[in-house]
């Protein structure tokens, strides 16, 4: 019933060497040569194929899954242009992986296929499905629906969308020995273990509600009957003049759009990472036509408080069991708004989790998590600006 985990990192600029170095450090830190699963998060700058080859030169044949990111997280804090690997070894946890391709063409089908492949491996006691979809091409909400067709609507799905250091150009998904783009890599966790999931963002709605008057999938074309981008022009005035240029990523991520969900404390957030020439907003997931959205705003303290609450929520679900590993899916927007305090968010999470444990995570372009995770009955949604904390612990209550 043991779960052992460790983390290895590298800042080497050569992708092969970085992979080799991080994998070797992982073995050294965890005092293990073989793992049952490798979670890999790395800067998109690395040639992904060479990176994986480097990792494989040390740890061949182990199930490997992960994605490129906009910053890597370990218990030591936050780094960029680096590589972080977590190795998990357990005689009680079971893993089944799946892959879905062609997100842009049909995200729902890709999500369906990914979950279908994972579910083929018969796992007793399924706990959670972790997904790493392309953060630029997918309609995240559609993707989740696809996976839910297979797993059931209330089965918990968590994860983060791949990033590329804020470039918003091309991201990668790592699956076994291959790197993909426009794909989703998924992993089903089963077996005997305890899991805790916490989700928060800390953004607040401000100003009027606006009706999405025309939308196609993850693209909002019109808000209140006007060009979607007009909303931002209206609110930010001159500062938003250059919305299609460099500052867009900043405004779009720090001030996203939020949708109210009945009975849920926090709004569901959608951020637009791109504005088209026609003035439409490209979001990380769909915003259905007719829905009412509001501009969202956040302050650093609120963001940090949200992180603490997410960690506490995840920890509470373990009912006092010792945390063996923590995985954090953290929105790039949070890194952006916290600036120098980005490391502080990880410290806040560490402090909330209490005892030290191996931590891995990455800054993502979108997050997936159930809305009311602690009750395990909530439907999973696609989020933005959110931090998702997933904790693993050994289950010692069974059989007693």
Partner 1 sequence: MYLPNMGIVFAAASALIISAFIYMVVLTEKQRKAKASLEYSLDKLKKTYDELDEQAKIIVRKDLELNTAQEELDKKINSLYTLHKLSKAISSTFDSEKFFSQIDKSFIEELGFNKGLVLLLDKDTRELTLPVLIGYTPEEQGQIKEYCHQNPVLEQFNQPILVAQDSLLDQAKNELLPTLKVNSFCAVPIISQEAMLGLMIVGNDLPYTQATEGDLEILSILAGQIAGGLENVRLYEQLWHSHQDLEQRVAERTKELALANEKLKKIDKLKSEFVSAVSHELRTPLTSIKGYAAILMAGKLGEVPEAVKERLKKINLHSDTLTKMVNDLLDISRIEAGKVTMKLQSLNIKEAVTEAVDLIAPQLKEKKIQLSIEVAENLPSCLADKIQLERVLTNLLGNALKFTGEKGKISLKAKEEKDALQIDVQDSGIGIAKEELSNIFEEFYRADNPINQKVKGTGLGLALVKRIIEAHQGKIWVSSEPKKGTTFSFTLPKA
Binding site residues, partner 1, CB under 8 A:
11, 13-14, 80-81, 165-168, 206-208, 234-237, 239, 246-247, 249-251, 254-255, 295, 297, 336-337, 339-340
CB of 117 to partner 1, least distance (A): 35
Indicate the residue among 101 and 283 with the shorter CB distance to partner 1. 283
Indicate the residue among 235 and 376 with the shorter CB distance to partner 1. 235
Indicate the residue among 158 and 272 with the shorter CB distance to partner 1. 272
Q: Residues 31, 123, 56, CA angle at the centre, nearest 5°?
A: 40
Q: Is residue 190 exposed (0-12), middle (13-18) or buried (19+ Cβ within 10 Å)?
A: buried
- The two three-digit tokens of residue 149, written as one number: 């067709």
List all residues 6 or more positions away from 262 whose beta carbon is below 8 Å from its beta carbon.
Answer: none
Q: Is residue 399 exposed (0-12), middle (13-18) or buried (19+ Cβ within 10 Å)?
A: exposed
Indicate the residue among 176 and 204 with the shorter CB distance to partner 1. 204
CB of 75 to partner 1, least distance (A): 17
Indicate the residue among 14 and 289 with the shorter CB distance to partner 1. 14
Q: Are 155 and 167 in contact (CB under 8 A)?
A: no
CB of 13 to partner 1, least distance (A): 6
CB of 394 to partner 1, least distance (A): 36
Indicate the residue among 236 and 376 with the shorter CB distance to partner 1. 236
CB of 246 to partner 1, least distance (A): 5
Of 355, 281, 287, 295, nearest in space to 324 by CA: 355
CB of 234 to partner 1, least distance (A): 7
3-state secondary structure (DSSP) of residue 277: coil
Q: Are 380 and 302 in contact (CB under 8 A)?
A: no
CB of 136 to partner 1, least distance (A): 14
CB of 241 to partner 1, least distance (A): 12
Q: Are 117 and 99 in contact (CB under 8 A)?
A: yes
Alpha helices in the chain (DSSP H): 15-30, 48-56, 107-120, 140-151, 230-236, 248-254, 300-316, 332-338, 342-353
CB of 2 to partner 1, least distance (A): 36
Q: Are 24 and 41 in contact (CB under 8 A)?
A: no
Indicate the residue among 176 and 300 with the shorter CB distance to partner 1. 300
Of 374, 383, 213, nearest in space to 293 by CA: 213
Indicate the residue among 108 and 210 with the shorter CB distance to partner 1. 210
CA distances from 25 to 7, 13, 86, 322, 329 (A): 8, 16, 10, 24, 22
Checking DSSP bridges between strand 257-259 and strand 226-227, what pairing results, if any?
A: unpaired
Q: Are 52 and 82 in contact (CB under 8 A)?
A: no
Residue 347 φ then ψ, to 5°: -65, -40
Indicate the residue among 35 and 168 with the shorter CB distance to partner 1. 168
User: Which residue in the block uniquely carries the two structure tokens 């797993």?
Assistant: 151
């Amino acid at each position: 019933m043991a779960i052992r985990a460790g983390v290895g990192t590298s800042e080497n600029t050569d992708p092969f060497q970085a992979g080799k170095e991080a994998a070797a450090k992982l073995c050294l830190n965890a005092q293990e040569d073989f793992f049952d699963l490798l979670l890999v998060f790395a800067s998109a700058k690395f040639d992904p194929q060479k990176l994986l080859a480097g990792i494989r030169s040390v740890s061949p044949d182990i199930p490997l899954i992960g994605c490129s990111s906009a910053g890597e997280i370990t218990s030591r804090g936050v780094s960029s242009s680096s590589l972080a690997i977590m190795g998990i070894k357990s005689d009680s946890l079971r893993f089944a992986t799946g892959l879905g391709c062609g997100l842009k063409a049909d995200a729902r089908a890709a999500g369906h296929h990914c979950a279908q492949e994972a579910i083929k491996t018969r796992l007793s006691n399924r706990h959670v499905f972790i997904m790493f979809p392309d953060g630029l091409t997918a309609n995240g909400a559609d993707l989740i629906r696809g996976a839910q067709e297979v797993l059931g609507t209330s089965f918990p799905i968590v994860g983060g969308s791949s990033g590329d250091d804020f470039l918003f150009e091309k991201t990668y998904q790592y699956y076994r020995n291959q790197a993909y783009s426009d794909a989703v890599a998924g992993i089903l966790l089963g077996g005997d273990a305890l899991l805790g999931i916490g989700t928060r963002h800390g953004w607040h709605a401000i100003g009027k509600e606006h009706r999405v008057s025309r939308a196609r999938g993850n693209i909002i074309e019109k808000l209140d009957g006007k060009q979607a981008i007009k909303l931002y022009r209206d609110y930010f005035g001159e500062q938003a003049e250059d919305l299609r240029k460099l500052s867009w990523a900043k405004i779009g991520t720090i001030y996203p759009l939020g949708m109210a969900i009945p009975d849920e404390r926090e709004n569901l957030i959608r951020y637009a990472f791109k504005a088209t020439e026609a003035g439409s907003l490209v979001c990380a997931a769909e915003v259905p036509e007719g829905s009412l959205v509001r501009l969202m705003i956040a302050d650093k303290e609120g963001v940090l408080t949200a992180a603490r609450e997410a960690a506490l929520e995840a920890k509470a679900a373990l009912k006092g069991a010792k945390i063996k590993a923590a995985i954090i899916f953290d929105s790039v927007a949070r890194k952006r708004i916290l600036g120098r305090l980005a490391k502080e968010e990880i410290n806040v999470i560490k402090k909330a989790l209490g005892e030290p444990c191996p931590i891995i995570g990455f800054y993502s372009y979108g997050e997936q998590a159930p809305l009311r995770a602690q009750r395990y009955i909530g439907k999973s949604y696609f989020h933005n600006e959110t931090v998702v904390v997933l904790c693993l612990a050994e289950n010692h209550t069974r059989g007693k």
